[in-house]
Structure 1
């Protein structure tokens, strides 16, 4: 399933909503695949939310690490 890139600038107030709309079909497909595999719809949704949360935490950690490395290199 193709996911199109942003059609607006970073300052566009609707950018987050546009991203949600673009990801929605892929999200629904992922939930459907999980349900077809035997997972409960709620379980699949919570698992995806947890994965997203962990991904954000990893991104933050990576940024802190990169900032620390930049300080050391100065």
Structure 2
């Protein structure tokens, strides 16, 4: 299933909601696949939330590393 990207005319304050709307079907499909595999819905939701949290932490670490490298290069 395709996920559409933002249009250039969208205001920044709308981007979060629009992104959420675009991801909703893929999220529901992922939950459904987990349920079909034998996980319960709560387990699947918590696992996805945990993965998202870990991804955000990794992004923050990457940015901190990039900042440190820029400082060393100065």
TM over 0.5: yes
> What is residue 57 of structure 1 aligned with on the other side?
57
Aligned length, in residue pairs: 74
Residue 8 of structure 1 and its aligned partner are, at CA, apart by 4.0
TM-score normalised to structure 2 length:
0.94
Task: Map residues 26-65 of structure 1 onto 2, 5 A cutoff.
Answer: 26-65=26-65
- Post-superposition CA distance 1:38-62 (Å, at most 9, x none): 0000000000000000000000000
Query: Aligned partners of 1:12, 1:5: CA distance in 2, in Å?
Result: 13
**1:72 corresponding residue in structure 2:** 72
RMSD: 1.4
Distance 1:11 1:65, change over 3 A: farther
Structure 2, gaps ≥5 residues long = none
Q: What stretches of structure 1 move > 6 A for 4+ residues in a row?
A: none
TM-score, with structure 1 as normaliser: 0.94
